[in-house]
Amino acid sequence: MINPETLNPHLAELDPDFLYHLGLDTSMDLKNMFGDVKYVCMGGSPDRAESFAKKAADELGITMPDGGVVKPIGKTERFSLYKVGNVISASHGMGMPSMLILLHEVAKLLEYAGCRDVKFIRIGTSGGVGVEPGTVVVAEEGVNAKLKPEFEQVELGETYKYPTTLDRQLAREILDVKGDIRAQIGKTMGTDDFYEGQGRLDGALKPRYTVADKMAFLHKAYGTGVRNIEMESAAFAAFCARAGIPGAVVCTTLLNRLNGDQVTSTPAELAQFSDNAQRLVLQYIKAERKKKPA
Ligand code: R2B
Ligand code: URA
């Protein structure tokens, strides 16, 4: 699962390893519970993780045990994790720190379960840059809030940079099955904040920048190929690249940031936007399962 060259050698000393935030540990029969997993689909919200799991069961024709009910596995205090056939649907919370905890624990879980050829796909929401709301952006690359293709992490007081390259072939394969869904390739920018970190002018505090500064930055971002902004892509891309796991970021856009900062769509419109990204990923998984039935 994890590239043997980057797999943490210290894990061999842990017996058991407690995957604390998932409420699972290596004294459990993880091979039996998770050994067949091929896709880990994740998004910020627990509600969306549940709705994706239900749609996956319907679309992939999987009958759940226990009377067909889709139920979370492990504890749900921090994250909600569902398994439907060979697909995991999990929530990761908002922002890179929360998501990295899920990524480390799910990657270890699947390593212990002996999984092979697993793909990680983030299905999220974002602010579009020069694209119509509801458009799904499949990321060709992650960039950080400085528009650089790197994720910066402070470890023991030192800053290290990890490349945010994504699997372009996987991105292309996902886009190829879009059918009637409005979707396109673009760079996705990951920031550490929704308000000032994304150059908004509707936060609680007086920003240091002007409307003109904001627009100049958004146009600059557009010029470098950025088509949407969210809060996880840089760390997600860096984690997958480092672990040797094919990763994709598939985010719907809730608004066009060139036209404003507020998310003004109705709940029904927002649900439709979110469904666009989920459907695209399910169409991809369905197409792959036809090629290699699980
Ligand atoms: C998109 O939406 C959330 C903020 O509203 C955040 O998790 C993200 O990346
Ligand atoms: N999520 C973000 O991080 N930014 C947006 O503008 C919309 C959703």
Shortest CA distance to 85 belongs to which of 109, 52, 108, 44? 52
273 in contact with ligand 1, CB cutoff 6 A: no
Strand ranges in the chain using DSSP code E only, listed in sequence order:
18-19, 24-25, 39-43, 81-84, 87-91, 119-128, 136-143, 150-155, 158-163, 183-190, 226-230, 247-256
How many angstroms separate the alpha carbon of residue 98 from the centre of ligand 2? 16
Share of the chain above pLDDT 90, in %: 96
Ligand 1 neighbourhood includes 194 CB (under 6 angstroms): yes
pLDDT reading at 293 higher than 70: no
pLDDT for the residue numbered 292: 75
Mutate which of 231, 236, 252, 265 for ligand 2 pocket (most atoms within 8 A of beta carbon): 231
pTM of structure: 0.98
Question: Measured from the CB, is residue 125 less than 6 Å from ligand 1?
Answer: yes
**Dist CA 86 CA 191 (whole Å):** 31
Amino acid at 173: E
Position in ligand 1 atom list of the atom nearest CA 94:
7
Distance 108 CA to ligand 1 centre (A): 25
Where does the pLDDT of residue 210 fall: very low under 50, low under 70, confident under 90, or very high at 90 and above? very high
Q: What is the DSSP letter of 11?
A: G
Phi, psi torsion values for 165, nearest 5 degrees = -75, 140
Supply the mean pLDDT for the chain: 97
Answer for the pair 93, 21: CB distance below 8 angstroms, yes or no. Answer: no
Ligand 2: does its nearest atom lie under 6 Å from the Cβ of 280? no
**How far is residue 7's CA from residue 5's CA, in Å, rounded to a whole number?**
6
Number of the ligand 2 atom closest to the C-alpha atom of 127: 6
Report the separation in Å between the CA atom of 50 and the middle of ligand 2, taken as the mean of its atom positions. Answer: 21
Backbone angles phi, psi at 225, to 5 degrees: 105, 0
Amino acid code (one letter) for 216: A
228 lines ligand 2 (CB under 6 A): no
State yes or no: pLDDT of 294 exceeds 60: no
pLDDT digits (tens, 9 = 90+) for 4-41: 999 999 999 999 999 999 999 999 999 999 999 999 99
Q: Which atom of ligand 2 is nearest to the CA of 200?
A: 6
Q: Which atom of ligand 1 is nearest to the CA of 124?
A: 1
Q: Which sign does the torsion angle of CA 25, 236, 36, 276 carry?
A: positive
Q: Is the dihedral of CA 191, 196, 202, 205 positive or negative?
A: positive
Over residues 61-112, the pLDDT tens digits come to 999 887 888 999 999 999 999 999 999 999 999 999 999 999 999 999 999 9
Ligand nearest to the CA of 127: 2
Of ligand 2's listed atoms, the one at least distance from the Cα of 231 is 3
What pLDDT is stored for residue 68 in this prediction?
82
The mean pLDDT value for 171-200 works out to 98
Mutate to test the pocket of ligand 2, among 229, 251, 264 (most ligand atoms within 8 A of CB): 229
Tokens of 186: 């673009």
Q: Could you tell me how far CA 204 lies from the centroid of its own chain?
A: 28
Indicate which residue's Cα is closest to atom 3 of ligand 1: 94
* Calpha distance 109→90 (Å, rounded): 13
